[in-house]
Amino acid sequence: MIISKVLNNNVVISEENHQEVVLMGCGLAFGCKAGEDVRDNLIEKKYVLSENKRELLLELPADIIEMADKIITYAHAKINKKLQDGAFLAMADHLYGVVLRVQDHFFMKNFLMWDIKRFFPDEFEVGKYANQLLGDYLGQDLPLDEAGFMALTIVNAELDNGNVAAQDLTQLMEEIMTIVKYSLEISLDDEDIYVQRFITHLKFFCERVLTDTGHQELDDNDMFDLLKIKYPSAYETTTKITQYLKQTRNYQTSDDEQMYLTIHLSRMKRKVNEN
């Protein structure tokens, strides 16, 4: 590979298989310039740049690019989930945006903070790590709200469908959890393993709602009819969720989705009442 541009001693832009890539490694570009061969033995990380992202990358300070790499590496270890290829650049762009806001003494209140910590605790830990790194870089403490925004960047990078925004997902989950809490008349402890399991199921369900990829037909109608009788309060709550989604998002919840919601709700209600 040939060096297209040197960003600093550790970061270069190159091209591989007709795609631009960001290459990183300690001393990778030391004493090098554009047009020279990349020293392959020093490459530690490689990020493929999606189309038309070169200009965005060139606007970012090299220190911010390296910081984003550290954060994404930490995220992979912390949450053990596949991230979209664009996660690295999205994080770098977000970090630089925070830098610019700090320079203007402008901070934003994160009104989803409580929900982010509740629904995405591992991602929030990554956000706190990123917040600390950036704060150290800037030489000042950053408000925890920024950690929440950085966590949403990670959540966005996890989503299978790029059309789903983490903020929309978090908001919808909170709306449904409010219906659940008042319909089942239970107190939801986020530390409870059964509540956590329901939240996990709810996250995937809400992704389907937001991408409109549900509507599978139910194979076992008899089982669903039995569940309606056996778990009336859980089914009633499912019905309220179904009606809410129809009214607010014009989403038709399938019988299959209703059945699994009812199962998860009944399990959670039973365990919460036992404690």
In degrees, to the nearest 5, what angle opens at C-alpha 87 toward C-alphas 85 and 88? Answer: 95
Per-residue model confidence (pLDDT) at position 225: 87
Per-residue model confidence (pLDDT) at position 8: 84
Per-residue model confidence (pLDDT) at position 4: 85
Radius of gyration of the chain (CA): 23
pLDDT tens digits, one per residue of 226-240: 889 989 999 999 999
* Domains of the chain by start residue, with CATH: 1-50 (2.30.24.10), 59-160 (1.10.1790.10), 164-271 (1.10.1790.10)
Cα–Cα distances (Å) from 144 to 49, 92, 97, 120, in that order, read 30, 18, 16, 15
Q: For the chain, which residues score pLDDT lower than 70?
A: 51-52, 159-164, 213-220, 275
Q: Are 47 and 68 in contact (CB under 8 A)?
A: no
Task: Determine how many CB atoms are found less than 10 A away from the CB of residue 4.
Answer: 16
